[in-house]
Amino acid sequence: MPFVFYDFETSGLSPEFDQVLQVAAVKTDDQFKELDTFSLRCRLASHIVPSPGALLANRIGPSMLTDAGLPSYYEALTTIQAKFVEWSPAIFIGYNSIDFDEMFLRQGFFQTLQPIYLTNTGGNARGDLLRVMHATAIYAPSVITVPRNESGDPTYKLDQIAPANGYGSGGHHEAMGDVRATLFLANLVKKRAGAIWEHMVRWTRKRSVSDFMTQEDAVWHSGIFQHNKAYSWLIAYCGQNAERDSQLAGVDLQFDPKEVIGLSVEELVKVLNSNPKKIRAVATNRQPILMPRQIVPADGTRPKVSDREIQARVALVQRNPDFQQRVSKALAGRFAEAEPSQFVEQRIYGGFSTPADEKVMEAFHSTSWDERMRLVESLEDERARELGQRLIYLEQPEVLPKSLRKQHDKWLKDRILNSDPEVPWMTLPKALEEVGRLLADSTESEEKKFLKDVKTFLGDVRRRFE
């Protein structure tokens, strides 16, 4: 199956309230032979204040943010959607993408009225090379070099781990450069640790994860956490979330299941949320690090009990389906349901669109702006209506009725100038404070010049609204 390696450069770190500024992607076959490439920059949307720190990292300056020759954010997202659909089905992979790039992709599609689950529907799958590197460091550490940071801790940052393993083409924090570095590391792991690579590719599909966990007596579940320290646990499947099929649970076999097997649902919730974790949750849709029992972590991690006792513990769990049902209910009741956010961007997972709304949103992108306004008003989902009106305001404000345009003018001004430091987006006051700090700390002349240009740009934005 083909792979799509991709990377975004963004205006900040918040998928909900920042935006993609640059995308690069390379499609390869399953042997990493390059089949096609894609790259695109776009303008800064008028309701987004960029983080000066993010701009400094990716060196996207004010002239790029305001370049009238670049597509708008909406135009860029529709182009990305079309290209990724053209390349489908494929396995979409980035570096730290499940927690970053993928979130920006989904938010971008959500806020431009496009299907948000492109990378894991329609035969597609999603992976994250950062997780592959973690898995390699845990199970085959001799095949890669993991550098250390100033504190002496291992670091998996792409701009450090790629050069440490022989990638010398530079271009870090530039989208295509990061894609090439990611592709280089993927090829390295595939060649040097083929079994690790093949397992991690399998886990790009949640069905494969579920089948593996439910069919094996015991599996290794690993992760790298605080200070990039590796941990591994031998677990046995003991339930699936009663409300979400993307979450499973496994008993940690270093503990005797007799300690938990008779607990009520309420007591099991406490077990799931306490430490040490006698029952561990596994997200099947986030490429977990799982390995067969015979592939032991390289650090020699093993339960401190005999193999015979391990088998007895597995058998105890397997012959207690009632326990598995209680764990399933406990997984579903693990966290209290949160109140819906007042901000539409944070309600992305607040329900699926109806088939009728999906048809309306599909039609939205292929008709005139006047007709798009009518289509938006016909949407049942209030989130889609709000985002649709906003999209029209940002792209073709004259299409909106005068009263709605005034409402959005007020919204835009408040969005930019808001003085409340607690709002979850970058405001102009926050950005000016940040660029001031960065300038005070900067010692490089080129960096100072860049930051001064950013400060001038932010001043121009302020004068436009005040």
Q: What is the DSSP code (8-state) at residue 286?
A: S
The DSSP code for 50 is P
Outline where DSSP puts E strands in 70-198.
91-94, 125-128
Helix (H/G/I), strand (E/B), else coil: 94: strand
Neighbours of 127 (CB within 10 A): 25
pLDDT in tens, 307-333: 999 999 999 999 999 999 999 999 999
- Rounded Cα gap, residues 128 and 242, in angstroms: 27
d(CA 66, CA 135): 41
Q: What are 264-299's pLDDT values in tens digits?
A: 999 999 999 999 999 999 999 999 999 999 999 998
Q: So what's the pLDDT on residue 137?
A: 97
Q: Which domains does the chain have, with CATH numbers?
A: 1-196 (3.30.420.10), 205-336 (3.30.1520.20), 344-465 (no CATH)
**Alpha carbon distance 175, 177 (integer Å):** 5
Burial of 229 (0-12, 13-18, 19+ CB in 10 A): exposed
Reported as a single tens digit per residue, the pLDDT across 76-92 is 999 999 999 999 999 99
Report the predicted TM-score, pTM, of the whole model to 2 decimal places.
0.96
Contact status, residue 31 vs residue 11, Cβ threshold 8 Å = no
Name the nearest CA neighbour of 94 among 5, 193, 187.
5
Band of the pLDDT at 336, cuts 50, 70, 90? confident
In contact, 451 and 458? CB cutoff 8 Å: no
In angstroms, the first-to-last Cα distance of the chain is: 54
- Sheet containing 20-28, strands listed edge to edge, beginning at the edge strand earlier in sequence: 34-41, 20-28, 3-10, 91-94, 125-128
